[in-house]
Structure 1
Amino acid sequence: MSHQHNDDCADYLERIVYFLDNELDGADCAAVQAHLDECGPCLQKYDLQRTVKTVVARSCSESAPEGLRERVLVQLREVQVRITEG
């Protein structure tokens, strides 16, 4: 991999975040997509970022099951008691 290729990849990797959020104009989207089609390492990073973004978005919209929520609250209270008694 040449030094120029590394510089190009760094530029595209910065733009991937905007690409994921649909914040690029048509020409930039086409350029990023063309680079991803040709560059396996950048495509892997794109896929990872897209997966993380999807998981985070899903996690933010779901509520924890009530049993889990209660167990976490009990553990937090136990820690608070140990801190105040210690």
Structure 2
Amino acid sequence: MSCGNPHETPCDHIREHCYEYLDGEMTEEECQRIAAHLAECPPCLAEYERDRALKALIRRSCACEPAPTTLRTQIIASFTSIRSEYY
């Protein structure tokens, strides 16, 4: 999804790296670039907010014990697969 306007950082890049941004796995410079894009692109901001809310819900629901590594890997792979099919 895109607002149709040109951006310094393309919408595709934002979608591909949203979880890295949410998880704080980016450099300060990368975080600033994504934050700037989100401030000017309502569709990407809406997608980011949805992903943030989903991660928060999962975190609250699973707070009692950590998920096994294999399960986490399968879930992340399915998100990637679903995202690829959606776009």
TM-score, normalised via structure 2 length = 0.63
Deviation at 1:33, TM superposition (A): 0.2
More helix by percentage: 1
Moved over 4 A (4+): none
Letter in 2 for 1:23: E
Matched residues, number: 61
Q: Which residue of 1 aligns with 2:10?
A: 8
Q: Which residue of 2 aligns with 1:40?
A: 42
Residue from 41, 45, 53 that aligns with 1:51: 53
Question: Structure 1 vs Structure 2: percent identity of aligned residues?
Answer: 35
TM-score, normalised via structure 1 length = 0.64
Distance between the aligned counterparts of 1:8 and 1:30, measured in 2? 14
Distance between the aligned counterparts of 1:12 and 1:47, measured in 2? 13
Q: List aligned pairs for 1:50-69, cutoff 5 A.
A: 50-62=52-64
Deviation at 1:12, TM superposition (A): 1.1
2:62 aligns to what SS in structure 1?
helix
Distance between the aligned counterparts of 2:13 and 2:20, measured in 1? 12
Tell me the alpha carbon deviations over residues 23-63 of structure 1, each in whole angstroms, 9 at most, x when there is no partner.
0000000000000000000000000000000000000015x
List gaps (5 residues or longer) in structure 1: 63-86
The structure with the largest alpha-carbon Rg is 1
Give the number of the structure with larger relative contact order, counting CA–CA contacts within 8 Å between residues 6 or more apart: 2
List gaps (5 residues or longer) in structure 2: 65-87
